[in-house]
Amino acid sequence: MSADHGTAGGGFTAVVLAAGKGTRMRSDRPKVLHALANRSMLGHVLAAVQEAGAARLAVVVEPGRADVADEVARMAPGASTHPQAERLGTAHAVLAARDALEGEGARERADVLVAFGDTPLITAETYARLRAPLRAGAAVAVLAFEAADPTGYGRVLTENGRVVAIREEKDASEAERAVRLSNAGLMALSGTHALSLLGRIGNDNANREYYLTDAVALAVADGLSVAVVNVSEDEALGVNDRVQLSVAEATIQARLRRAAQLGGATLVAPETVFLSADTVIGRDVTVEPHCVFGPGVVVGDGCVIRAFSHLHDARLMEGADIGPHVRLRGGAVLEAGVHLGNFVEVKNATLRAGAKASHLTYLGDAEVGAGANIGAGTITCNYDGVSKHRTVIGAGAFIGSNSALVAPVTIGDGALVGAGSVITRSVPAEALALARGRQTTREGAARVLRETLKAAKASKDGKRG
């Protein structure tokens, strides 16, 4: 997290509300842990508020949800978690984190920004814009958007260009419901006024809940300034079901593809390429259609990822050329100039510079030396039913087609393994290894065998007749 703790221009306290059950997701998993681009919605929010400069982070969670607490610890080490036993509205949820607002260090991190764990598309830039009016003297800043259809949203009400209230739809008059300026839910409060405003919010409304939005009317009644920061309706999307989750996924993917392209990568058919939030793609990389990048993938400059390849937890160095139909996973590392052809899988293996496996190969728990050539149909037999074992193939080695290397085994530098071999013992450098049955050829035997089989079949058919 940011170490900038100044009140005027530095860090702030972010309170992220993440205690909702998300019953409309129809899932045993908490809503905020559902993923976009292989990162939880909560993870997206935590990453964005930290990038925006949060010096202190408090996350309000459902009691007993160790999975949510674990995600907080993973994505924001040092953040505090605060259980919300009762659900009595958004203001009540924020005050579940009162210790973070009142505790040691709260004074220098005075401003408070309230975010939602199920609103994952808000960018770090937007969080920074939301806080900016506080520096200009506003007591409260609210995020709002012009809704195409405002039904269901709280309305941001203004008089003579000034914000006077946010009204929930159930409590709004007919005229107020006609307003299209809608509340996105997020709010920033000046540290000078935050606890005073939050503490005075009541529950005199149709749902008998403590609405965070009532801080606006209280600030106005105190003669304080309330600012509105506009955002697009798309960015303000809150995810409540799996349909909205898919809409958010499409938005995240569009952002990631655009960033990759602006960073110097060519995506031949961008709409068919799926990236993870942490995918790193270098310059002059070409990605052909229908490729999937799971978590933990780094692609160096000048690489080519051909169609229908799937990468997860893999690192490709400069000039690697893979695919089509390549799968990399489990810590695969391809050094500069490695070539993998169609239907090659690499798992927990390192291929040194210039190594090649052109087709139909599995390399698991292995190290392949520089310039080695792996023939079609080769597999490393890395699992004995109980434990995994490692195969080491030396620099410049040649493994003939349809070979099985039974680990643990080492093939020395420059060694040659004949096609169709099953290698169970290590092969010294520059040695030739052949491990297959001796071929026997009997002239004319095929015709004799065929005639014998036909006669036997005819006899059997005759008996049945």
Is 456 annotated to bind a ligand? Reply is no
Is 376 annotated to bind a ligand? Reply is yes
Annotated catalytic residue: which of 44, 290, 339, 359? 359
Residue among 306, 312, 365, 371 nearest 341 (CA): 306
One DSSP character per residue, 49-96 reads: HHHTTEEEEEEEE-TT-HHHHHHHHHHSTT-EEEE--S---HHHHHHT
Is 240 annotated to bind a ligand? Reply is yes
Q: What is the DSSP letter of 428?
A: -
Across 139-171, b (16+ Cβ under 10 Å) vs e yields: bbbbbbbebeebeebbbbbeeeeebbbbbbeee
Is 348 annotated to bind a ligand? Reply is no
Residue among 387, 386, 427, 385 nearest 405 (CA): 427
Q: What is the DSSP letter of 30?
A: -
Is 168 annotated to bind a ligand? Reply is yes
Cα(227)–Cα(207) distance, rounded to whole angstroms? 26
Is 19 annotated to bind a ligand? Reply is yes
Residue 34 designated active-site: no
Is 362 annotated to bind a ligand? Reply is yes
Is 203 annotated to bind a ligand? Reply is no
Is 235 annotated to bind a ligand? Reply is no
Is 210 annotated to bind a ligand? Reply is no
Question: Contact at 8 Å (CB) between 370 and 414?
Answer: no
Is 90 annotated to bind a ligand? Reply is yes
Is 154 annotated to bind a ligand? Reply is yes
Is 165 annotated to bind a ligand? Reply is no
Tokens found for residue 347: 């798992």
Is 190 annotated to bind a ligand? Reply is no
Is 373 annotated to bind a ligand? Reply is yes
- Amino acid identity of residue 73, one-letter, is A
Cα(371)–Cα(355) distance, rounded to whole angstroms? 4
Is 183 annotated to bind a ligand? Reply is yes
Cα(61)–Cα(100) distance, rounded to whole angstroms? 14
- Amino acid identity of residue 396, one-letter, is G
Q: How many CA atoms lie within 13 A of 243 on its CB side?
A: 1
Is 439 annotated to bind a ligand? Reply is no
Cα(36)–Cα(46) distance, rounded to whole angstroms? 14
Q: Which residues fall in the annotated binding site for Mg(2+)?
A: 118, 240
* Residue list for the binding site for UDP-N-acetyl-alpha-D-glucosamine: 17-20, 31, 84, 89-90, 154, 168, 183, 240, 329, 347, 362, 373
Known binding-site residues equal 17-20, 31, 84, 89-90, 118, 154, 168, 183, 240, 329, 347, 362, 373, 376, 382-383, 401, 419, 436
Annotated binding site for acetyl-CoA: 376, 382-383, 401, 419, 436
- Residues forming the active site: 359
